[in-house]
Amino acid sequence: MRLSRRTTVTLALVLGLSLAFAYATYLSYYGSRRLDDAFLYQTHVVDALSAVSLLEVQQFDRGADPDELAPYERDLTRDLGFIDTAAQTPEEQAPAFTFPGTRQSFGELTDSLLKLKSVGTEAFQATVRRNQQTRDLSNALFALVALLFTVLVGRLRRTIEEGRSLVERLQRAFISERRSIASVDVGSVLISATRGSNVGGDTYDAFSFDARYAMFLVADVSGKGIDAAVDTALIKYTIRTLFYEDSDPGRILSTFAQIYTRTSENPEVFIVLFLAVVDLQDGSVRYASAGHEPAWVVRGRDVTILPPTGPIVGIRVDEGYETRALALAAGEGLVISTDGLTESRDARGDLLGADGVGRWLEDLDGSSAQAMAEALVRRLRRRSSRITDDLAILIVRFKPSALVGRADRTATVPALSVSDAGT
């Protein structure tokens, strides 16, 4: 099948966007890893110098017997081995040393280690310089990603009717997926209410560039189908790019609102969204929401509602977004959903509402995050004849890595242990 010129250009933009984003992310991590390697080598050299000094004092100044010297000799042997393991070139290898040493051999070993320390220092500084150059290139690539994505969205808006199958493939490439992030247990559900299509206006994202902070996003674009799906991709990757530069949720939403308002071709489209940034080390959370449905903090059976902190995107642009903070202890979590949950109706036409969701959440304590998300959907299906609106649910539970035991590292997701009885 011969592709049209317009389709070929669009596919090229998609490929360029994917490659640029992947390479920029790789560069961001690569520089950090090289810097860690250089720092680790320096640490081993310093440890070996300390071990040499201690052994020399014990052997010559204190006149310790061989049994007393044995632990110090083992420490020195271990540190020299660590140097060899961390060395990147033959010149960085540790010098040979034979026990018991003489005053002369100790002096020669110390001189050799001091030279290795100088070599390591030079390598560390060179790595810092390369790392800075790498990060500069990475930032430029992320800017290119944002530009390519803006061009791509513009082309897709003009060719939606002509290229529906292409847009669906593009949406599948951008579809929300659960990502494994250290120190958090993440559960999610994404349902499109558009018959015959797996695309919709609701989305979620769980993403982290490093081991310290992760962002969690739930967004709802007005409308349904392919037009809304294109906007969800724009939301996700624009906010990821902004998160790379700034981890404050309120400032991210303020910048995104300005970008979206200036680039959106349809003034009638608006977006509600919730953005949280979690410190993966201590469980502290900063969040901001643009007119979003209430989110919930679940602490055991204690459920608290988090109201919006700013206006809907696309409605008002003169207001900023407030960043608020809370702290999660181990096992506590956030539940974020679009209005497909709270605005669902039962057979009598009654809305579930935020309080109704809160009562459901009180019964789900002890489940894994994914089991909680699936249990909410099962209750929703029993309460309503069918799901009539797009629905995204994201659940994030704080699970510090320091508290994860050896058995937890190989365990599968816990079995569902909650009551699914409806309210």
pLDDT digits (tens, 9 = 90+) for 213-249: 999 999 998 866 667 777 888 888 899 999 988 999 9
SS (H, E, C) 36-82: HHHHHHHHHHHHHHHHHHHHHHHHHHCCCCHHHHHHHHHHHHHHHHH
Write the burial class of residue 67 (CB in 10 Å: 0-12 exposed, 13-18 middle, 19+ buried). Answer: exposed
Give the chain's domains with CATH numbers.
6-132 (1.20.120), 176-410 (3.60.40.10)
Q: What is the pLDDT of residue 218?
A: 94
Give which of 70, 69, 71, 49 is closest to 61, Cα–Cα.
69
Residue 43 is predicted with a pLDDT of 85
Beta bridge partners of 278: 214, 285
Q: In which band, very low, low, confident or very high, does the pLDDT at 292 lie, cut at 50, 70 and 90?
A: confident
Residue 353: left (phi > 0), alpha (psi -120 to 50), or beta?
left
Q: How far apart are the first and last CA of the chain?
A: 54
pLDDT digits (tens, 9 = 90+) for 366-380: 678 999 999 999 999
- Tell me, what's the pLDDT at 370? 92
Q: Does residue 31 have a pLDDT over 60? A: no
Nearest residue to 97 via CA among 38, 49, 44: 49
**Cα within 13 Å of Cα(408), Cβ side:** 12
Q: What pLDDT sits at residue 54?
A: 87
Is-above-0.75 flag for pTM? no
- Condensed to tens digits (0 to 9), the pLDDT of residues 140-196 reads 666 666 666 677 666 666 655 554 555 445 554 455 555 679 899 999 988 876 654
**Strand pairing category for 295-299 and 333-337:** antiparallel
Burial class (CB within 10 angstroms; exposed 0-12, middle 13-18, buried 19+) of 293: buried
| Closest-CA residue to 352 (of 384, 324, 328) | 384
Distance set, CA 42 to CA 194, 310, 413 (Å): 59, 48, 40
